[in-house]
Homo-oligomer: A and B are copies of this chain.
Amino acid sequence: MKHIISVLVENKFGVLARISGLFSARGFNINSLAVGETENPTISRMTIVVEGDDKILEQIIKQLHRLIDVIRIIDLTKKGYVDRELLLFKIDTGKSKDKIVKILKNYKAKIINEDNCKLTVEVANSEEQVEKLLKALSAYEIKEMVRTGRIAVEK
């Protein structure tokens, strides 16, 4: 099962390495991780999406609690949450520009640059909608895709 873990930490160097090290030491792969400042610049929030054995994850969370720079850990999967992810990518339209533009509109994706047949696209949406968009575009060539990983807040 996928878990979305939100970790509030002191914004100090080394915290990210220690936290990601705890996951990798137990053979847990991190699907995505996003870390940025909160409303308090001395505090950062990491949003970590992981998939793996629930019991091992519980042990990792216990170890996280023991790290001195960790302030709070919330397993958002156990609560109601709203999630969003941001993607940037380029797509070669070839002769299918109209079709592609229509698909992008359906998923509220924005064209932020256009250069000959190459569109640069921005989309911010829930994981479900992002996956649907990528499926709808699977017949076309997507290049240089960058994803932030999911972030989420409690409902």
The interface of chain A, by Cβ under 8 A from chain B, is 6, 11-14, 16-17, 20-21, 23-24, 27-39, 45, 47, 82, 84-90, 112-113, 120, 122, 124, 142-149, 151-155
Q: Is the interface of A mostly helix, strand, loop or mixed?
A: strand
Residues of chain B within 8 A (CB-CB) of A144 are 39, 153-154
Residues of chain B within 8 A (CB-CB) of A148 are 34, 36, 47, 85-86, 148-149, 151
Closest Cβ of chain B to A150, distance in Å, is: 8
Residues of chain B within 8 A (CB-CB) of A86 are 84-86, 124, 148, 151
A6 touches B146 (CB 8 A): yes
A120 touches B152 (CB 8 A): no
A149 touches B35 (CB 8 A): yes
Known: A20-B16, A21-B21. A146 touches B36 (CB 8 A): yes
B45 touches A36 (CB 8 A): no
A113 touches B33 (CB 8 A): no
Residues of chain B within 8 A (CB-CB) of A30 are 13, 16, 35
Which B-chain residue is minimally distant from A123 (CB atoms)? B124
